[in-house]
Chains A and B, each alone.
Chain A
Amino acid sequence: MIIFEKEVTVKNRAGLHTRPAASLVKLSSRFDSEIFLIRDGFMINGKSIIGVMTLAAENGCVLTVRAEGEDAEAAVNEIAELFERGFGEI
């Protein structure tokens, strides 16, 4: 199994609130890999909106995106890019 990881920073000002969380879950669900977000050792499933919301990741917070599966690399890269663009709401 392929495992891929990357660090990302929350760039949009309002943090990882509902709308960004929703776009993240939508994107994650497009991949076959299992997607995880890790913050301070706390790991949640990236395909669970309630998980992403309860990460309570504010602006500036650094997270690790981890994917496990055949399309792990593509998944991590696309998710990292979504963070980079600040979910389109910088």
Chain B
Amino acid sequence: MFADLKIELPFFKEKNSAMIATGFLKGIPSSPGIVISKALVIQPEIFISSNDKVSSEAIPIEIERLSQAWKDLNLEFKAVMERIPESNPGAVNILETNLLIIKDEYLQKSINTFIYEGYTAESAVIREFEKQKVYLLNSRDKILRERATELDHVKTHILSALKQRCLQYSIAKDRVLIAQSLTTTDFVNYKESGAVAVVTEAGGIASHVSILARSFETPAVIGVKDATGIIKNDELVIIDGFTGLVIYNPNKELIDKYQDKIEKIEKHRIALGKLAKEPAITADGRKIHLMANVDRLDDIDSANLVGAEGIGLVRSESLIINYSTIPGEELQSKWYREIADRIYPNPVTIRAFDIGSDKYVEGMPNIESNPALGFRGIRYLLSRTELFKTQIRAVLKASVNKNIRFMLPMISDTSELVKSLQIIDDCKKELSDEQIDFDAKIPIGIMIETPSAAMMADELAELSDFFSIGTNDLTQYTLAVDRTNELVSDRFDSFNPAVLKLIAMTAAAAARKKIPVGICGELAGHSAATTILVGMGITELSVVPAMVLELKNRIRKMKYSTAKKNTLKLLKLPDSYQILKILEQ
């Protein structure tokens, strides 16, 4: 199902045209949207040495130059801040932080110390920032290491101010910026002059450019190796901020294809109206995390478009369904990372392979007489630890930006969870020993889809970071109804009070431990179920992308306090007929 994810890209040339070659570059999609326009390649700064010295008489002049540069920078930043709309808290935050760095007296004093040692103002600035960067680069934490780039940006600003450089921002009108990296004020200035998209060589999905691009709704692709060297000024480029693809010199076919895509996205936007940007909050202020279920990469774009706050469920077995064997660690990790990057900064929940039962995989003949009660989910994974470990390591490796949650399927007692956590810890230790980065605090949660798990929810909550209730399996196991069996499938009913009581028990246990509890099954999207689920204290709902807005609309209209009271009454009713009669009113 993930056939549309091509990591290796074709590089082909037009046969009849000797001069123009279409080329493809792949980076990290960091702000969604598609743009077709001409490139503006911004060449990197010329190299300044950190060893330039001045005579002792010139020291006061250097001190004065630096002090003037600080003043200019202060004014420049304040001017830019005033032009940013308040509705852009992301951008304001970044600029405020830059301004704090510029105003930092201790930093200024420290740079002055180098000047007193005889260095030029420029060399002193470089020396001080290199010193500071070392501390950050030594951090064990990848995000903090990426922050070193922020220091570089402030350094660039000071150096430019020393040179009194004037960039001609106006040439950026309607163009795609191609740069090694962009400083905050440069980004804002270019954007205001009409730049339409951004491509940078520097990576880091949590970087300034990503945050700014998203808050300015400017498509951006980052981490494109040697972009400023490969793409020429004024060349036509296509930027796909959904997939991270950058196409230069596209042929007519590609231009038409992407024009179509742009039109479709526009239509979709208009149809959705403003709801996509509104939060999922009940009328009396309870926040519900509204997320999307995703089985294909295309679904992620849809999820982003409708304003889903993350991905509540990735069924990882859907990745392997087209393969005769289970892919190795590297390939799996690439998949997970691609999904995590595309939904960043929102979280994604990856569920471990739920193989077995109705999900037949080649190489694992399904000969059980009662597969739903058989060898599946966590039972299968715990008996195939090599396969399980490969997946855990792949997920951990993909978790560097700290937006991945990992979830275990079909837990039916605490010992399965304890064993799984031990294996996850072993994998973490291995990766640490190999000095591979991962999110050491990756949230580990479980599916609540067996009645035994719901009844043991308090004990399981002690060991879990979150719960996700799989209502389809929970219904089938609670009511002893195989929904693929026509003779009994009409008895399959998630509104049966027995099922609802188990869901309520699970939600209550989660609330006592203050962990998130979500629903990713079909019930989450059922129009009659929203009030009772929210009323039970469910904090996350995950549905197919197409359903997100409708559900958001319902949440925004309901009151949590009323739903909570009604839920207590509804749970006392004897059958689903009476429950539904009230819910559907």
Contacts and interface: CB of A to CB of B under 8 A. Distances in A.
Q: Do A and B bind each other?
A: yes
Interface of A: 13-19, 21-22, 25-26, 45, 47-51, 53-60
B143 interface: yes
B527 interface: no
Contact of A48 (B94, B104, B144, B206): B104
A58 B139 contact: yes
Contact of B136 (A13, A47, A56): A56
Contact of B143 (A17, A21, A48, A50): A17
B402 A14 contact: yes
A18 B97 CA distance: 7
B136 A51 contact: no
A22 B104 contact: no
Contact of A49 (B104, B136, B138): B104
A48 B402 contact: no
A18 to B, nearest CB: 5
Interface of B: 93-94, 96-97, 100-101, 104-107, 132, 135-136, 138-141, 143-145, 147, 150-151, 206, 402, 440-441
Most chain B CB within a 10 A radius of its CB, from A14, A45, A56, A60 = A56
Given A13-B441, A22-B97, A59-B441, A45 B144 contact: no
Contacts of A56: 135-136, 138-139, 141, 144-145
The 9 closest A-B pairs by CB, nearest first: A56-B139, A58-B141, A54-B135, A48-B106, A49-B100, A56-B144, A22-B97, A50-B107, A18-B97
A26 B97 CA distance: 10
A54 B289 CA distance: 34
B96 A15 contact: no
A15 B147 CA distance: 11
Contacts of B139: 56, 58
Contacts of A57: 144
10 contacts: A14-B206, A15-B141, A18-B94, A19-B97, A51-B104, A53-B132, A53-B147, A53-B151, A58-B144, A60-B440
Nearest to B109: A48
A40 B316 CA distance: 41
B441 A50 contact: no
Given A15-B143, A56-B135, A50 B402 contact: no
Given A56-B139, A59-B441, A50 B144 contact: no
A36 to B, nearest CB: 12
Given A48-B105, A60-B441, A54 B97 contact: no
Nearest to A22: B97
Contacts of A51: 104, 106
Contacts of A49: 97, 100-101, 104
A85 B129 CA distance: 31
A25 B412 CA distance: 48
Most chain B CB within a 10 A radius of its CB, from A14, A16, A55 = A14
A75 B402 CA distance: 31
Nearest to B142: A58
A50 B97 contact: no
